Structure 1
Amino acid sequence: MFSFANMCLLSPSDLQRIFQNLDVNGDGFVTLEELNWLLQKTINIPQFGLEELESIVEKNRLDFSEFLFFYNSISKQNNGENRGGDDDDHDDDDDKDDEVLESDLVKTFKVFDLDGDGFITSQELECVLKRLGLWNQTSCKDCRSMIRFYDTNLDGRLDFQEFKNMMLLTTA
């Protein structure tokens, strides 16, 4: 069964499918334009401009291993593994981490809430999975099951609090 936690930490086979979907001409490389499109439109990471992305990866295109390295770097950064801090400021760091987590959850929620109505439906989930190349014939059933599992008020969709609870449960 697919879970939102998998969106944060994609498997190598998921990343291979995403890479192949981005590599439209099949030359074994993803251009920075394609990578930028993925970051901005699909995953909703607007912090990278094309010039900044080029300065980060230092190449005009990436092969699959370079794509994996880039993904792992971004994942570590977004999961806080690259954050530093003194032990003296531990309480302040916890508050900042909570704020960052809440902010990240809001951004992630917006990726899935395609119509902006404040809810995620199984159809919206399916649409995002298709964009990422992670949808298959069984995913539709899994999408409905997952929504039902975390839908505590039984309205057939996830509001932000249900989404947040799900994310905190599946990533713990």
Structure 2
Amino acid sequence: MTGPLTPTPVDEFVQRYPAGPKVSAGLSITKEEIEKVFNFFDENNDGLISKDDLRHFMEKLGFETTDEEINSMVTSVDINGDGSVDFMEFANLYEALVTEQVMQGKDLYEEEDLREAFNVFDTDDDGFISPQELQAVLIKLGMQEGASLDNCINMIKNVDDDV
């Protein structure tokens, strides 16, 4: 007979947030979703988001980042000081962002940051993100969701209030 299983960082996250943290729109995030986001950054599947992982992700999005910027991003989240971001540090960042947004009613990002992120997708600068533009970015990021244009059309329909 073996002893009790040691909980994984994902299990610890779920124990801390059994129903999933709520965002202002009434949506919740599941264990699988937060793990999927973490794993997307952790390309080599070593359980850590390294500076190289983060730099590679930013390059995929078309951002040129300096070593200083990458160091600053990681250092701001790296609680244990090991130079990388583990799952619990990532979950803590998520908790802080959601708590700030929901409890204080503050915008998660400044308008300038949102505009910059929007512009990554709006490649023709027409003020709209088309399914084709979404697909191009998802493919650039290596995400399977971008393989199907119909999938991208449905993603936009799910968030577009004008449809």
* TM-score scaled by length of structure 2: 0.51
Normalized per residue, the structure richer in helix is 1
Matched, 1:49 2:58: no
- Partner SS, residue 73 of structure 2: helix
* 3-state DSSP of counterpart to 2:44: coil
Q: Identity over aligned residues, as a percent?
A: 27
Q: CA RMSD in A?
A: 4.4
Displacement, 1:51?
2.9
Contact 1:18–1:133 (CA<8 Å) still a contact in 2? Answer: no
Match of 2:32 among 3, 13, 18: 13
Task: Name 1:111's counterpart in structure 2.
Answer: 120
Give me the whole-angstrom Cα distance separating, in 2, the residues matched to 1:40 and 1:72.
Answer: 26
Q: Structure 1 CA distance, aligned partners of 2:144 and 2:104? A: 28
Residue in 2 that maps onto 1:127: 136
Structure 2 unpaired stretches of 5+: 1-23
Gaps of 5+ in 1: 85-96, 151-162
What residue in structure 2 maps to residue 22 of structure 1? 41
- Corresponding residue number in structure 1 for 2:91: 68
Higher relative contact order structure (alpha carbons within 8 Å, sequence separation ≥ 6): 1
Contact 1:113 1:120 in 2 (8 A): yes
Is it true that 1:143 corresponds to 2:162 in the alignment? no
Q: 1:91-110, CA deviations, whole angstroms, 9 ceiling, x for partnerless residues?
A: xxxxxx7xx4x545423321
Q: Secondary structure at the match of 1:120?
A: coil
Over 3 Å counting, the alpha-carbon distance change for 1:39 and 1:72 in structure 2 is farther
Task: State the TM-score, normalizing by the size of structure 1.
Answer: 0.50
Q: What displacement does 1:125 show? A: 1.3
